[in-house]
Amino acid sequence: MRFGLIAIAAFALTACGGAREPHPYPQAAQAHFYSACPRESAQCVCTWEAITRAVTHEEYEAAMARFRETGLMEPRISRARTKCVEQTRVD
């Protein structure tokens, strides 16, 4: 019984917050991202990887269009960036 509860809890945690496989993105989208955020930056690499896991390419393009029009960023992209800023912060 106890093992069953542990297995269910582990599955739930993995399903909710585990590392996802990245969604496929065209090479041009990645190149465009890195033209504004250098590949040499650990924060930029982390952010790109987090974004590709959080949203599909189509969602990303729609979010960028909305951002250009309204100045409001898709929350999943903001969370990805914030997580990476916190992870790569040097005190």
Write the pLDDT tens digit of every residue in 60-82: 999 999 999 999 999 999 999 99
Q: For residue 76, what is the enclosing H or E element?
A: helix 75-88
Higher-pLDDT residue of 14 and 88 is 88
- List pLDDT tens digits, range 9-64: 444 444 445 568 999 999 999 999 999 999 999 999 999 999 999 999 999 999 99
> What are the domain boundaries of the chain?
22-88
Q: Label residues 33-65 b or e (16+ Cβ within 10 Å = b).
A: beeeeeeeeebbbbbbebbbebbeeeebeebbe
Count other Cβ atoms within 10 Å, centred on residue 81: 20
